[in-house]
Amino acid sequence: MKKAVLLLVALVVVLVATLLLRTQKPTDNFRMALSVSPFTHSMFLNGYTYQVGNKTATTLEELERLYIAAGATEMYARIATKRYPTPDDSGIADSNVNSHTLEQGLALCRLAAKLHIPINPEIMCAYTYMDMETQQAPDFSEYPELLPLQNGKPWEELTLEEICTVLRAYGQFVATEILNTGCTVQNWNLGNEANFGFAGISVGLQTAVNPALATMDPMQRYMASEEWMEDNLWKYHAQALAALSQGIKDAYVALGKDDSQVTFSTHIATVVFPTERTVSYFNCLRKHGYNLDVAGISFYPSAPSAFKNSMDLYHQTVEAIQEQCHLPVFIAEFSYPSGPVTGAFAGWSIPAEGYEISEDGQAAIYADVITWGKEHGVIGIRYWAADLAEGWSNMSMFRFEGKQGIAKRILLIH
């Protein structure tokens, strides 16, 4: 009888340990992804400098070193399929057209290698940009290594099988380019706020995968049932994401590198998703073949939302992902204003309950999101565009006096 009790106790201990490992609630290996943004290079070209305490940064390297001194453990590169910067927008009316090219991403990877800090590449599979509301298909016209795989067909005419073939080859190609810079990648993020689209299989775009998506009213995407989203959109995304991740793994094999500790994530905007839909999204991806390791979310507490209390939504979302998806959570985008937001993001000045719109409020909510997160399965956070001034200054970690950025309290307390 005593042996049976001991065996039962041992079994319970193993089960609990397994669950803890699966939900991953670390405090020592928290990913503080404070990184130069996709826009920092152009800020320096426009004459901006950044001051943290008594130190001033005038280059990307100097600024990242200041971030590392402030606790950064990871860099970031958002990479579109546009390969090289161009003097014009190539017919795409997009302010990000030259911010996310492969060439610029590789430059950040080389910097990460030099600074001996891991980098998190975000492989968008969009020509220049995608997010919750904006979708672009990939364009491989600059890739003689890949374009022949389309057999002369435009992207919108490719079948799902053909798309997956190209994406697997692209995954191997782009991962090889990145790893050959000498950088260390611990996590690959695939897509950017991929709620409603990925790799051209998107609401509002022509695609042979599901022609009905092209004529769908944009408002319908917010009201469609989870069953409809799975059958018409998410299951295709899962297969495309799986192909891309397999191509990335192929690169490790071809290069003779160990990929046993490499993880994959995808993130979505949660401001438009109730917790049930967020859970359905991540579970659907795994059900249809994409075995992601980390559930990513964007969290902007001051943005307009259908939810009254943004911090409550954050708590509910993280807890639901933990309990129903058994995945750790990474906050792939976060920021909070220190003053009224103007320009393209006017209206993002709604105070979260208990946090005023001020430098003190900005610092306090950031600290609280991290502290609570570490205790509930959040494994990291990226403060979005911490150094961007134009149209984002009150959301950044710097207050700007002319073209001099001076660190706010949020960056000085760590």
pLDDT in tens, 94-116: 667 889 999 999 999 999 999 99
Residue 93 has what pLDDT?
Answer: 57
Q: What residue type is assigned to position 394 of the chain? A: N
Q: How many CB atoms are located within 10 Å of the residue 365 CB?
A: 23
Quick one: which H or E segment has residue 287?
A: helix 275-287
Q: How far apart are CA 161 and CA 236, in angstroms?
A: 10
C-alpha dihedral sign at 156, 161, 164, 166: negative
Would you say 20 and 374 are in contact if contact means Cβ atoms under 8 Å apart?
Answer: no
Residue 92 has what pLDDT?
Answer: 59
Q: How many CB atoms are located within 10 Å of the residue 382 CB?
A: 26
DSSP 29: S
Quick one: which H or E segment has residue 297?
A: strand 294-299
Residue 6 has what pLDDT?
Answer: 43
Domains in the chain, ordered, with CATH?
A: 30-43+71-397 (3.20.20.80)
Question: Residue 378: pLDDT band by 50, 70, 90 thresholds?
Answer: very high
Q: How far apart are CA 247 and CA 145, in angstroms?
A: 14
pLDDT in tens, 145-200: 999 999 999 999 999 999 999 999 999 999 999 999 999 999 999 999 999 999 99
Q: What residue type is assigned to position 353 of the chain? A: E
Query: Model-level pTM?
Result: 0.91
pLDDT at 4 over 70: no
Question: In Å, what is the CA distance from 351 to each residue of 97, 178, 318?
Answer: 32, 40, 21
pLDDT in tens, 341-353: 988 899 999 999 9
Over pLDDT 90: what percentage of the chain?
A: 83
Residue 20 has what pLDDT?
Answer: 39
Q: What are the phi and psi torsion angles at 272 (to 5°)?
A: -105, 0
- Record the tokens describing residue 153, joined without a space: 């067909």
